[in-house]
Each structure stands twice: as C-alpha cells, then as structure tokens.
Structure 1
Amino acid sequence: MDSCERGVVVVVKSMEVVAPFAPLRVHRLPMSNLDLLFPPFDVGVLFFYDAGSLKTEMMIRMMKKGLSQVLVSFYSLAGEVVLNNEGEPEILCNNRGVDFVQAIADRELRRLNLHKLDVSVYANFFPVKKRGVLSVQVTEMKCGGLVIGCSFDHRVADAHSITKFLVAWADMTRSNHSKDYKIASVSSPDYCRSLLEPRNPIHPDPALNNMYMLVEDASVDSPQAPPVFHLQSRIYKINACQLQHLQSLAGPNRTKFEAFSALLWKLLAKAATEDKKRCKLGIVVDGRDYLNKSMENYFGNVLSAPYSDASVVELKSMPLSEIADKVHACVECAANNEHFRGLVDWIECHRPRQPMYKIFSFLPSDTEEVAVVVSSGQHFPVHKMDFGWGHPSVMSVFFPWEGTTGYVMPLPSATEDGDWIVYMHLSEKHLDFVEKEAPHIFEPFAFTGPLKASKL
C-alpha cells in the first residue's frame, strides 16, 4: 500500500515475515504481574540514518539476516500475544516471526519535518503492527539514507528490554558484515518469571491504591464521557548549556532529569487559565536496580509510575527548586525493593481483573488541567545502533497513545555533546504554550548540516 502525507510519498516495495534462524519448541510464556499493568497498545522507535557507503539493498539484506539470528534468543518477539483460560494475556512462542516491510520515499532525509511527527513521519515510516509482537519497516530515502521504524507490543517488553534487543540486532548485523564475530557476543535475555513472583504470603501495600487501579473501576469512576481531546507528537532539542542551567536552578543534588520534569510541570500549570485546577506529573521508575542484581538481562516490564499532583496556583507560585523537590520525592517513593514487591503482590490479589496505572485514567475536566508521564531515555546507547554503516543521526520514540494522559521522553543526542532530543506527546494547547513560553529551551527539532549525496 502506498502512502502520501503532506507531500511525502512512500511506496511499499515488499512485505515479508522474518522468522528465527533456528526455530525453538513451541510453548507459552506467561506474563509477569508487572506486564499485566499494560493494556494492548503498541509503541515504537525510529532511527534516521544518513547515506552510507553500502548499497541500500545490501544493507537491508544484512538487517534481515541479523534479525533472523537474534530472534533465536529474543524468541518472545517472534511470537504472538494470546489469552489464557483466565482471559489474561500470555505469549505464544510459536516462531511466527516479525513482519518486515521495505519501502521507498521520494524525500531526502533532511527535508523531513521531524518536529511535528504526526504531519509526515508517523503515517509513512512507523509500521502498523497487524499481527505478532514486533513489526519493522525500513524505508529508503531519496538521498540514500534509511529510516528504520520498529513497533512493538508494550505488554511484552519495556524500553530497557527493547534496547537490549535493538543493540543485539545491530551488533549481529555488523558482525556478519565485518566477520568479527566477537561483536555479537551479547548476553541472552532472561525470561525467568520467578524473579517477579508474588511473596508467600502476599503483602500488598494499601498505599498503592493511590497509584494503581482496576480498569473496570476507571470507567465507573469517570464522571463523564471523554471529551474530544487529541494529543499530538513533537520533537524538541534542548541544549546542554540550558540543561546545566536548569539543574543549577533546581538546587543541590537534583539531576537534570528532575530539573527538566520540574520545569515541564510548571509550564503546564502556567498554561492553565483557572488556578483551582490540578496538574498531575508521573515519573517512570525502572525496578531492576531495586529488586535483584540479576535482573539486568530480564526481558519484560519492570516499571512503576508513581505520580504527584498539585494545584495550578501552587505550581505557578513555587520556585523551580521546590517543584524539583516534589519530583524527587515522587521518584523516591517507588525507588526501593518494597515498593516493587508490594506492587507485584497488589496485582496478584486482584487477578484476573485488569490492573492499570492510575495516572492513565486522567480525563480533563473542570477540576483537572493536565496529566503527563515523563520517562527517561537517557541511558539509550544511540552510538551502539550501528548496523555496519554508522550510528543514526537522530532517533526518537513514538507513543501513539489514544488516551488523554501525555507522555514525554528525553533522549540523548546522537552527537554525544550533552544535548537532549525530547519526544513530547501532549495536547496542541500545551505544546504551543511550551514553545511560546520557553523557546530558548524547547527548540523545535530540525536537521542541521549538508545533505549527503545519493548512494542509490
């Protein structure tokens, strides 16, 4: 199927399924309690590569071969999500494979509007996953560059897990080309669900009722039907000097991430016209550092999303350092072993009913202004996404969430100079306000540097 969006024409050349190189025994892999927090929805990553020295067809053949090899270890990504007898999702590891789309675009890479992803990027370069767990689309650009888009089922893996897979795929592909097979000697993913088993007896913390809820209760508690409220996706660049200045304003012992989150929270409050309204800020916390040292290679979801809320008038009046303290306290309430063990137990005592992060039940109303979840992508090794023709010039996540809670993820710049590339999924009103209120910090992303000659 062809796609034409605002002048960008993308034509699909081929569609195939890349299966594991060595199929494994068909079996079912249960999801952990923390996996069950996610509804069925897909998220993705996009990588933008300038033209390299290799021909495009060769690069794509290399990628397919490397993918088939790493799927042997990352076999859950080659399966499908099905329901068990209790109506809960689990992974059918059946070696189905990954849908792989090859396409071609009539636009140079650096002529793409990456600031407003919804305009020309999402519809053209982000694969729509129809079956399975993972889908890939590789698009050849007019200049010889490549756009690699990956869409995956969030119920199966979090960002940490997908990062492990992506780096392994790049390493395998590069090692095949260079014949240096030491490159591909990566650790295999750990699917041991016993690492996240509930305690016996279980000890759910009643305080978790303030952060989590059941899906069935979300609809009951809603005072009205969701209004027409469409979120948009945009990418910004934040200069390293601005980040250092923000950190200094946030006070001693505050990270750049905490300073950034505090600034965002304050800006969203300033966008409100009614001081009585509330603004919610959630922070994604990875539990691997707090549960067990052996969880570095665990493949699945190990996330919590505690949140804090404050009135518009409070946030407007508070200095950035006080807001940063509130952000820090929000993180600290979940950054410990007991929180995650208690969360596993809390979910266990409600099964098979569907749990969810409470902040994602947000609806704008007369008393609620905005809710946003901020997740740090600063540990993503952009420089390691080298398939054999160099690392990407830009990367971004994509979060096509249909709800009304916003999502923001700061990522490292591929230039490794301390700059951030920030993905923001918010309402048009809030995005426009942020751009107008802090243009010196939130710079609409644009490619820089000369266009490279075509290698086609």
Structure 2
Amino acid sequence: MGEGKRGYAVTVHRKERVAAVLPLQEHWLSLSNLDLLLPPLDVGVFFCYEKLPGSPSFATMLSSLKGSLVQALVSYYPFAGEVVTNSTGEPELLCNNRGVDFIEAYADVELRELSLYKPDESLGGKLMPKKEGGVLCVQATELRCGGLVVACAFDHRIADAVSADMFLVAWAELATSKPVSRIPSFRRSLLNPRRPGRHDSFPDRLYAPISSLSRPPSPPPLQQPVVSRIYYITAEDVDSMQTAASAGGAAYRTKVEAFTAYLWRVLAKGTVSGDKPCRMGLVVDGRSRLDARAMANYFGNVLTLPYGTLSAAELGRMELPEVADAVHEFLRPAVTAEHFRGLVDWVESHRPEPAVARVYLEDEEGGMACIVSSGRRFPSSELEFGWGKPTLASYYFPWGGSAGFVMPTPSAKGNGDWVVYAYLLKDLVEVLEAQSPQVLRPLTPDYYLSLLKLEVVD
C-alpha cells in the first residue's frame, strides 16, 4: 500500500460551540509561574477509530461525543474559557464558559488510505482543526469507510500533556457512563513562590528574560523547510536501544534517556560542520518531584526544559552509552523538588517580563536543536467512547520554529511499540531515515492496519 492517499477532500458540515452543561459563575483563574514560561502555542492530538461491526452511526457518535463533552467541561472548565491579557501584560484565564468550538466534517478517504506518515499533508488543514479562539477546539471527521477521526487543538499555556490526558480520559469515561476517575485540581497555591524567593543559577542556564536577548524570540526565518513525520519503533528496537545505552558497565538508563541519546547522536550527523553546537533537550514533568500525592491531579503546566550541548564532532566520537550518560547528566539537576521551587521563584523575580527557553534560541554559530517530550503515559487504550479503542493516536505539533520537537507515545496495539511524532528540519529527517538498520520506521497504513488484522489491498 505504500504511503497511502495524500490528496482528498474534506467537507465541513457544521461548526458550533459546546459549553458546560451546568452554568458556571464567571471567574478568573490566574496562570501559575510555570504556566507563564509557555509561549502562546497550540498543541494537536488525534485518534483514529475503525468502523467495526455493530458500530453506531456517525450521528450517534457525534451525539455521544458532544453529550459527554458538555459534562466533562463541568470539571474541566478551563477548556471552556478563554485567555485574555491583564493590565500587566500577562495572560490570564477567564473561566466564562465560552465553550469549545466543535467541528463536524466528512473526509473522502478511508482509514486504510490515510497517509499519517506525512501528517502535514494528511492531517494539517484537513483532519486537525485550527483553533481560532478559546482554549480548546475539537473536530470529529467521518471517513468514507465509516471510520472516525477525533482531533483536538489546545492552548499549551493552559494545559500540559498530563492535564490534557486527564481531560481526554474523563471525556471518554463520561461517554461510556463511567464515573470520572481523576477530578482536576486547580490549587495554584501548590506552585506559589516562596517568601523570600531563592534559586540557584540553574534556571538562568535554562531560561532567559526577553530583555536580555539581542533580538526578539520570534521564530527566525527558516533557511530550509521543516516537516512533520510520524514513525513507529518496534518494542524489540526500544528494548535493544535501552540495552545498548546501558552497555559496557554503564549505569542503567531509562528508555526515554536511551531514545534521546540515540536521537542526539543521529541528528548530529546532519550538522554541516563538526564544530557546530548540537543542543538536545528533554521535557521533565515535576508533579512527582514536588509532591506526588498533592500534585497527582494538578491541572496546568508543571514542566521544565533542561538540555545539553555537544559539538557534532564530539557526538560523532561518542558511543551510545556515553551520549546516554550526557543525557542523564543534563537531566540530573532538573529532576528535584528544589529545582521546580527555584524555577517558580526565578519567574517571580522577573515578572511581569516573559521568558523564553534557551534551547529554542538560535545560536550565533548555528548548529542543531531538538526537544524530546515523552508521551509514554499517553492513555490511548483508555480513549474508548463506545465504539472501540482507537486504532492509532498521536500528537501533531508543528510549532513554527527551527528547533525540532519529537514525542514518542505508546502504540494503540499495546505491545510495547512506540508511535513517534517528529517535527524536524527536512535535512535532519533525511539523516534520520538514512540510518541502517532503520529504527524509526515510517507509519504507513500497513502498520496501523496490521493492528486490526485487516487485509491491506493495493
């Protein structure tokens, strides 16, 4: 079947706003200091469902999706609000039950024809909605085969992946008449700055106030195209990667550390000169670092972005265990409660001036930058709205800059495979795909149809 069908028509039948079923008193919800570290970017996530025997009609599925959404927005009311700018120039969340923009559409394509390997062509502007206001936008698209794609775009300033996952599971639970398993916490006091505040120099290495920059932190003009790809990695390759990264007497490394090291080493081969810096970052969630019990259901952003810098020549000389050690070392100071408390205090000391993560900044010498965000807890198997589990689920985040973004999530197959979304410079994609043996394999219809044991027809 190859890459599948790229060009197909999508017809939008209806756009409406879906608000919480219960009236909510309008109120303000301030963003935490960690929320304020996020720029105004929208993150996309999508789920594909196969038309199974006995599946309900599209109209019935729409009714279920919207009926459960209005209930989910009662507890997860920030998704029904809108972001406004306060008198100091900082964003705040107005919880006014504006509602979620909900789009109903039809796509003249079958699931077995969908080319998800190149999502810019198959998802962007077609199955993935463009958020035009509010915090969350949803599009439900019926496929020609009777399948369904549900796609969401949400404001990253309001929710990180953990928060979005909580909401999505709650939405699915309500659709199947189950009680909501995780009620969100909006206790901003959990991330209040200390009085007096204190922090070491580490936040200054990771973030920069905008006033300290020689030029605005807007995405620079791209010298080459940046493209999105979706790959998969077999469970065997994930295990082999981890084993290789922990070999030679090296300390045990996690799968994410091993994957980040592999990616760092491979992408450095696409750098034009050996002395160019290659920056690799890894997003760290701070909930379990701060207070695992109190923060377990916290809704918002609890993230930090440590990174390391090595030259392409250095990475070319290093074996995978050595690179994994380097990943572990740049992570080590960022996985403590004190780092997150200090980061909150650092933001407070610079407010209301915004800051930007240094890993995203263009280095004067050029080079390469990439960020890995682990979505390995993505609950694809729990997104069951009443017509079966998704065949495939992944993120879509073409943020617009030249720094790469890579996010692995568990395959819906539940066998240990990973589905990996990658946003990279085209030259780096070519380097990544030229590796032998190839670890990241293009996500063609052959793979996700094999999850359903469907016959692939040429």
* TM-score normalised over the length of structure 1: 0.93
CA pair 26-111 structure 1, distance change in 2 beyond 3 A:
same
Q: Do the aligned partners of 2:281 and 2:371 also contact (CA within 8 Å) in 1?
A: yes
Aligned residue number for residue 444 of structure 1: 442
Secondary structure of 2:74's counterpart equals: coil
CA distance in 1, matches of 2:337, 2:453: 49
Counterpart position of 1:89: 91
What is the alpha-carbon root mean square deviation over aligned residues?
A: 1.7
1:114 matches 2:116:
yes
Tell me the equivalent position of 1:271: 270
* Deviation string, structure 1 residues 37-61 (Cα, Å, up to 9, x no partner): 1111101101111013111110110
- CA distance in 1 between counterparts of 2:320 and 2:265 reads 8
Counterpart of 1:414 (choices 394, 404, 412) is: 412
Q: Do the aligned partners of 1:112 and 1:121 also contact (CA within 8 Å) in 2?
A: no
The AA in structure 2 aligned to 1:56 is F
Q: 1:221 to 1:312 in 2, by over 3 A?
A: farther
Q: Distance in 2 between matches of 1:283 and 1:77?
A: 26
Judged with a 3 Å threshold, the aligned counterparts in structure 2 of structure 1 residues 47 and 221 are, in CA distance, closer, same or farther, namely closer
Match of 1:179 in 2: none
| Contact 1:51/1:452 (8 A) holds in 2 | no
Tell me what 2:16 maps to: 16
Q: Cα offset for 1:214?
A: 1.6
The correspondence for 2:76, drawn from 74, 77, 86, is 74
Determine the C-alpha separation between the residues in 2 that align with 1:66 and 1:39.
30
Aligned to 1:254: 253
**Kindly tell me: are residues 221 and 51 of structure 1, through their superposed partners in 2, closer, same or farther at Cα, counting changes over 3 Å?**
closer
2:184 to 189, 212, 230: 189
Q: What residue is the counterpart of 1:206 in the other structure?
A: 201
**1: distance between equivalents of 2:135 and 2:30?**
14
Q: 1:219 to 1:94 in 2, by over 3 A?
A: farther
State how 1:367-406 maps to structure 2 within 5 Å: 367-406=365-404
The answer to whether the 8 A contact 1:44-1:152 is kept is: yes
**2: distance between equivalents of 1:331 and 1:145?**
42
Q: Would the aligned equivalents of 2:207 and 2:358 in 1 still touch at CA under 8 Å?
A: yes
Match of 1:299 in 2: 299
**What CA distance in whole angstroms lies between the structure 2 residues aligned with 1:347 and 1:14?**
42
In the alignment, is the contact (CA less than 8 A) between 1:278 and 1:370 conserved in 2? yes
Among 127, 130, 147, the residue aligned to 2:129: 127
SS of residue matched to 1:125? coil
SS at 1:124 equivalent: coil
Measured after TM superposition, the shift of residue 336 of structure 1 is 0.3
Matches of 1:263 and 1:400, distance apart in 2:
22
Superposed CA offset, 1:191-221 (max 9, x none):
1100000011000222321110123433538
Whole-angstrom CA distance in 1 between matches of 2:376 and 2:104: 30
Of 217, 234, 239 in structure 2, the residue corresponding to residue 244 of structure 1 is: 239
| Amino acid aligned to 1:282 | G
| Residue aligned with 2:48, SS | strand
Q: Distance in 2 between matches of 1:145 and 1:28?
A: 39
Distance 1:81 1:55, change over 3 A: same
Counterpart-to-counterpart distance in 2, 1:404 and 1:309 = 16
- SS at 1:333's partner residue? helix
Equivalent-residue separation in structure 2 for 1:451 and 1:11 (angstroms): 30
Secondary structure of the structure 1 residue equivalent to 2:423? strand
Q: Please tell me the residue identity of whatever aligns with 1:315.
A: L
Q: For the residues of structure 2 that align with 1:121 and 1:451, how far apart are their CA atoms?
A: 24
Aligned AA (1:203): R
3-state SS, counterpart of residue 349 of structure 1:
helix
Task: Give the residue type in structure 2 aligned to 1:131.
Answer: G
- Partners of 1:218 and 1:361 within 8 A in 2: no
- TM-score of the superposition, structure 2-length normalised? 0.93
Q: Which amino acid aligns with 1:82?
A: V
Provide, for residues 104-144 of structure 1, a one-character-per-residue CA deviation record: whole Å limited to 9, x for no partner: 01100120110011112112011111110000000000011
Provide, for residues 404-431 of structure 1, a one-character-per-residue CA deviation record: whole Å limited to 9, x for no partner. 1110001101111111101100011001
1:302-345 deviations in whole A, cap 9, x for unaligned?
00000000001100000000000111112221000010000000
Taking the aligned partners of 1:401 and 1:249, their CA distance within structure 2 comes to 32
For 2:321 and 2:288, locate their aligned partners in 1 and report how far apart those are by CA, in whole Å: 26
State the secondary structure of the residue aligned to 1:72: helix
- The separation in 2 between residues aligned to 1:121 and 1:219, in whole angstroms, is 36
Q: What residue in structure 2 maps to residue 50 of structure 1?
A: 50
How far apart are 1:159 and its partner, in Å? 0.2
The aligned counterpart of 2:309 is 309
Provide the rounded CA distance (Å) in 1 between the counterparts of 2:78 and 2:57: 31
CA contact (8 A) 1:372 1:408 kept: yes
Secondary structure, counterpart of 1:338 in structure 2: helix
1:184 shift after superposition? 2.0
In structure 2, give the amino acid aligned to 1:302.
V
Partner SS, residue 157 of structure 1: coil
Whether the 8 Å CA contact 2:290–2:337 is kept in 1: the answer is: yes
Q: Which amino acid aligns with 1:272?
A: T
Q: Which runs of 5+ in 1 are unaligned?
A: 176-182
Q: Which deviations, in whole Å up to 9, do the C-alpha atoms of 1:270-305 show, x marking residues without a partner?
A: 122311111000010000011112101110000000
CA distance in 1, matches of 2:228, 2:436: 18
The secondary structure found in structure 1 opposite 2:308 is strand
Across the two proteins, how many residue pairs are aligned to each other? 439
Q: 2: CA distance between counterparts of 1:219 and 1:371?
A: 19
| 1:54-94 C-alpha deviation (Å, 9 max, x unpaired) | 11110110000000001001011000000111110000000
**Structure 2 match to 1:180:** none
Q: Secondary structure at the match of 1:346?
A: helix
